Structure 1
Amino acid sequence: KVSIIVDEVRDESKKEQMAIIFFDIQNIRGQGYDGASNMHGGFNGLQALILNDCRYAYYVHCFPHRLQLVLVAAAREVVEVHQFFKDLSNIVNITSVFSKRHDELQKAQVAEITRLYPSMS
């Protein structure tokens, strides 16, 4: 039997990137999901199906998801935590805009130099 991992994430340019990995299911040594019952259900979920084929694939609730739940709860209750994440979000938004503009400026400069000096391209 073969298992498939499919994961997606946005890269720096905000484009969706997807990775697909195939591997032998007997080599699985752990499982982690975001808490959806159809995934981690001990009797009928994906966790149970994988454990039927590979007894060493122990289930652990996804730690990054747990961390996110804790941080969201803290941001609701503690003003300083809320302000920290608000400031952090603003910093990320501002720096990503500046890097995009810098990339656009560089592309425009290369295009202009190529236009002015065709022999250099």
Structure 2
Amino acid sequence: METLSISKDLNDDYFSILVDESRDVSCKEQMAIVLRYVDRRGSVMERFIGTIHVRDTSALSLRNEVVGLLAQHSLSPSYIRGQCYDGANNMQRDLNGLKILIQKESKGAHSIHYFAHQLQVTLVAISRRCDEVRELLSLVSNILNMVRASFKRRDELLESQAKEIEEALRKGELETVGA
């Protein structure tokens, strides 16, 4: 999905951002930004919207880059309702970190620590030392890429999961929670 169509796909104008900044293999600082939002069908979506080369990793510079990228896609920072960062000082600092700068523009932009970053770093470290883990992660990555690349495969997977859930409910292995 193109990013321009994301703004049209939002159920309302609110969204969350996930931001991670790190050095790439060429030693350039890069900032990756992902949007999380509810689409018009009521599904929670996560969409990668861009990687930006950043010369200055100060909180103010990162904020300007985030706001600039959002503006390119007709998204206003005042509609941010969630922000997710790793524990880096420029992101989390209480007085002038990126989270505080974003909250000044959007009072409802609650911040959540990005623990998945720690999991990723751990998995990368383990996969470098253990061939079985590296092979497993490669297999999972290939499967995900194959399923994501085809609506037909995605539909087949969803149908298969629905049948498994129905069977588990029928056997009493799963229970539904009353609404």
Identify the structure with the greater helix proportion. Answer: 1
Larger Rg: 1
Larger relative strand fraction: 2
TM-score (norm 2): 0.33
